[in-house]
């Protein structure tokens, strides 16, 4: 899979490509990441990529021409084919694991990293095929989002994490029973390793018991409990068993709501 990243900060990506899953995927030939400096697609002496917003207001906006030229230059490499072009922007649809699984399907992806107040809307409308945000917080540009998306897509590609034969989107279902990846829609249960006691803090007894049925039950209960407390939104789409429901009901009963003191 080839990623073409269009950015005014290509050097930003160099170090992250030298570590972990991105390095492995590039070394193993599963991924190729090409960095394109947006300024190379300008034609004025000052290599201008931005301009003041029509209608006034603070900040600067990416001009459409360099982005358009970058994308058409890349598309000219594969005549007759339009490439999937993702604009990273706070107005995009929310990135999730399901979106990562969608994005691993094409063999090429163009990622446009905006900066400043944003990118001329005609790019979103006529050049990009998709617009993605990584969450409801303010960043200064699309570079970190692009790196994050490549990281999460690349680790799904066959062979990258050793998932050589299985359909990559099945990687979670091949996990040992009792671990719950986000794919299953629950938060993960807690994990422990040696020593069994550290600073007086003990590992839950059941994990040392060797009783695998009890361990499985404990892990599922902890995953359900953490999800219920922290991410109740995830439970709405989760297929709860009868036993799950009984456990959540018991948690609900033992959780005392603090008495709210009404202030004047």
Binding site for ligand 9D3 (CB under 6 A): 88-90, 114, 117-118, 133-135, 137-142, 145
- List CB contacts of 43: < 8 A, sequence separation 6 or more: none
Distance of CA 55 to the CA centre of its chain: 34
Catalytic residue among 53, 64, 84, 90: 90
Residue 66 or 145: the one with the smaller Cβ distance to ligand 9D3 is: 145
Q: Which residue is nearest to ligand 9D3 (CB)?
A: 139
| CA atoms within a 13 Å half-sphere pointing along the CA-CB vector of 215 | 14
Separation of first and last alpha carbons in the chain: 61
Catalytic residue among 117, 130, 151, 188: 117
Active site residue 90: yes
For the CB of residue 141, give the shortest distance to ligand 9D3 in the complex, in Å: 5
Question: Distance between CA 86 and CA 127 in Å, rounded?
Answer: 9
Q: Which two tokens stand for residue 219?
A: 């892990």
Active site residue 105: no
For the CB of residue 5, give the shortest distance to ligand 9D3 in the complex, in Å: 13
For the chain, percent helix, then strand, then coil, each to nearest 5? 40, 15, 45
Beta bridge partners of 113: 88
Catalytic residue among 4, 66, 145, 155: 155
Residue 22 or 86: the one with the smaller Cβ distance to ligand 9D3 is: 86
For the CB of residue 227, give the shortest distance to ligand 9D3 in the complex, in Å: 24
For the CB of residue 58, give the shortest distance to ligand 9D3 in the complex, in Å: 9
Residue 27 or 138: the one with the smaller Cβ distance to ligand 9D3 is: 138
Question: Distance between CA 97 and CA 183 in Å, rounded?
Answer: 7
For the CB of residue 57, give the shortest distance to ligand 9D3 in the complex, in Å: 10
Active site residue 170: yes
Residue 33 or 189: the one with the smaller Cβ distance to ligand 9D3 is: 33
**SS3 state at 151:** helix
CB-count burial class (<10 Å; 0-12, 13-18, 19+) for 90: middle
Active site residue 204: no
Q: Which two tokens stand for residue 164?
A: 């050589």
Tell me the CA distances in angstroms from 104 to 100, 148, 231, 248, one per residue in order: 6, 14, 26, 35
Catalytic residue among 18, 51, 102, 170: 170
Residue 88 or 154: the one with the smaller Cβ distance to ligand 9D3 is: 88
For the CB of residue 36, give the shortest distance to ligand 9D3 in the complex, in Å: 17
The residue assigned the tokens 């007759």 is: 80
Residue 133 or 171: the one with the smaller Cβ distance to ligand 9D3 is: 133
Catalytic site residues? 90, 117, 155, 170
């Amino acid at each position: 899979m080839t990623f073409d990243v269009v950015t005014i900060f290509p050097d930003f990506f160099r170090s992250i490509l030298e570590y972990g899953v991105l390095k492995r995927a590039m070394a193993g030939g599963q991924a190729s990441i090409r960095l394109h400096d947006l300024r190379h697609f300008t034609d004025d002496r000052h290599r201008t990529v931005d301009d003041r917003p029509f209608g006034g207001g603070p900040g600067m906006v990416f001009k459409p021409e360099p982005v358009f030229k970058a994308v058409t230059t890349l598309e000219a490499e594969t005549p007759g084919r339009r490439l999937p072009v993702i604009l990273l922007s706070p107005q995009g649809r929310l990135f999730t694991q399901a979106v990562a699984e969608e994005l691993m399907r094409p063999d090429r992806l163009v990622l446009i990293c905006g900066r400043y107040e944003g990118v001329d809307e005609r790019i979103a409308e006529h050049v990009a095929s998709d617009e993605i945000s990584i969450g409801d917080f303010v960043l200064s540009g699309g570079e970190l989002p692009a790196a994050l998306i490549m990281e999460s897509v690349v680790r799904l590609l066959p062979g990258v994490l050793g998932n050589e034969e299985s359909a990559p989107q099945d990687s979670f279902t091949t996990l040992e029973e009792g671990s719950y990846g986000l794919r299953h829609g629950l938060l993960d249960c807690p994990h422990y390793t040696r020593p069994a006691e550290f600073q007086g803090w003990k590992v839950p007894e059941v994990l040392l018991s060797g009783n695998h049925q009890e361990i499985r039950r404990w892990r599922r209960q902890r995953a359900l409990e953490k999800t219920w407390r922290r991410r109740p939104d995830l439970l709405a789409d989760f297929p709860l068993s009868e036993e799950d429901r009984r456990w959540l009901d018991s948690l609900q009963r033992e959780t005392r709501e603090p008495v709210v003191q009404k202030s004047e």
